[in-house]
Amino acid sequence: MRPERIRSLPFRNGRLRSGQWWAAAAGVVFVCAGVAAAVRAPEPEPVSRDTPVFGIRADSVSGLYPGAVRRSRVTLLNPYPYPIVVRSVDAQVASTSRRRCRASARNLRVERFHGRLPVTVPARGRAVAGEFEVHMPGTVDDACRRATFRLTVTGTARTVGR
Q: Which residues contact 162 (CB under 8 A, 6 or more apart)?
A: 1, 3, 4, 82
pLDDT at 161 over 50: yes
Q: What is the mean pLDDT of residues 18-30?
A: 48
Are 6 and 53 contacting, i.e. CB atoms less than 8 angstroms apart?
A: yes
pLDDT, tens digit (0-9, with 9 covering 90-100), for 101-160: 999 989 999 999 999 999 999 999 999 999 999 999 999 988 998 899 999 999 999 998
At 31 the pLDDT is 41
pLDDT, tens digit (0-9, with 9 covering 90-100), for 77-108: 999 999 999 999 999 999 999 999 999 989 99
Every domain of the chain and the residues it spans: 5-159
